[in-house]
Structure 1
Amino acid sequence: MSCSGCTLIQPIENQGIVRIKPVNTTLMNSLLEQGMGAEVIADCTVVPYRKKEEILNLLHFLRILPKKDRTYMKISITGLGEYAMYSPWIPVIQMEAKVENQSVIDIIRLEKFASHMQPIVDTNEQIMGFEFLLRPEQGDHSFQPYQLFEVARETGLHSFLDRAAQITAIKTSALWVPNGFKRFINFLPSTIYDPKYCLIETFETIDRLNLDPKDFVFEVVETENIEHIPQLLRIFDLYREKGISVALDDVGAGYSTVELMSDLKPDYVKIDRSLIDHCDQDPIKQREITRITEAAFQFKGQVLAEGIERYEDFQFCKNAGINLAQGYLFGKPSERPPLDMVI
């Protein structure tokens, strides 16, 4: 079993063949008028190209077609060089995004990113674990993680990127984090089509590196509008069967509501930074933090306050019964943990 979102990303070759289906008469006529050598083979329009710019020209012709014609069109590009192979059929819209964002696609394809670690502390300000965050490789082109994931989503590569980011985090943790410290790693529920298949590489990597599954916490990130609760619960169940804990990120903001939290009953509840900032001075924020904390205690979830930059906020959270914290007050994301923790 496999899916295009999880498999190896091949670069677009400088020469090759483009296939488009279904056949569209208007498109064929436009291409022939421009001398692009299009022909119909079986149920496809086949167009050879000699340089990548010609693919952009072809996509330009596709854009002038009525939306109703383009909606169901799919495209496949087969290179003639080192990576020559028959590529999967993908929606035309995804291919447009892929060609227009080739430099970003190369970052994803070549995995030019690293995992940085931000400490998570207990009420005594002792480090109990780290959250692993996607960052550019040292000396490489800069990018914003959310932009990388946005391009990946537009091009149908978010499953590949999400998986690669997780594996990078696991490997980084094996290098620098001692056993017994928690390793919080983000995941996108929408990238996991079949939990038993999609999570195989995650579990195998943890096992191969002789890491303890109990040290890992996989957390649902805030960008996801979770529409299929039963599917996410199945994902949670599989993680827990392997001894791995689960977390819900940014509770109190966006899609991560108290109601969702109570339905999912994660092992860890991370309260969004927007509620934490200056919470010592805001009665409305205080009531919401108390509501989340009390609801989490009902199912024995551990509560973590995110984005703490002021000691006063930390003190309020401790008094509210929150036993874990994360934020610049305790450390920014970095390539390495404190020197006294290095293996």
Structure 2
Amino acid sequence: MTALQITRADGILTVQDMGRPGHLAQGLSRGGAMDRRALLEGAALLNTKSPLAAIEMAGAGGEFSVTAPTRIALTGAPMAATLDDAPLRWNASHLVTPGQRLRIGGAQSGTYSYLTPAGGIATEPWLGSRAAHLSIGIGGALRAGDTLPVGDDPEPDRPSHGLPPEPRFDGGTIRVIDGPHTVLFSDAVLDAFYATAFRRGPRGNRQGLQLVAEARFGTEHAKGLASDMIGPGDVQMTGDGVPYVLMAECQTVGGYPRIGTVIPADLPRVAQAAPGAVLRPRRVTLDEALATARSEADELRDLSGRCTPLVRDPAAIRDLLSYQLVSGMVRGDEFDATWPHST
């Protein structure tokens, strides 16, 4: 089996897949990739039928190598990447061979980036997932010197492909639907909330992130509120009126009032917002939210249809002279009868 070796880990690196749904009753949230869209993009680029376990890189990447020829996909927040110092296109697949050094720098925009090998990270699954769940101690951060098993590449000769970048790494509008606690907030508070351009605050992790504004958005009806089920996308209002958007590793039960819930289609935008990025909530109806809903199989099918083979720049091909650029040869005298000559 192929191994992926980590020579240097600069950011917070973890193994992530699509998580462990279906265990809320046992107190275990889904977890998995913060930007699920990025794993779907990786699957499309690698031509796999479903998303694979990948390395999630928060903030920065590191240095990597492989023990057998393996295609990899680089998706999510764009980072500067090189293979033996030759620049690599982001949101694309590339072949890495033994002895080559893959170096990935810091995020140029956004927060979470993904390195997906074509065979997927093949660590031992637990409850049907290989995802690290840091808040409850499942797995942990990867470090320099770690070696990860990787499944065999099913199509090692498949050409590299690229995807047009999706603009979700610099904040923007996030659509929010009403939830069970929306009625606890006054119309004035709701109007103010949806008129505010929030900044992603400095406090945030895989459990949730803070939205910062000068205004506060409290409710007098929060006292004595019974705890109930919560999930990714819920916008909880703390006692001092500061909103937090719950993310992949949030708790399963909470008692803070929820002013609404970010729709799943916009959670990647929230996850990728770096501190200081502006997020503008927009209130939408349930019908509007349902109109955006798509299965991840449909999303993957759409992304696969948008993948195109990469066109390599001859100036960047180090082994250009090893390619057969011209096939066949002629003597030239067969043209004598027809070629015009000057006398």
TM-score of the alignment, normalized to the shorter chain, above 0.5: no
The structure richer in helix per residue is 1
TM-score range, shorter chain: under 0.3
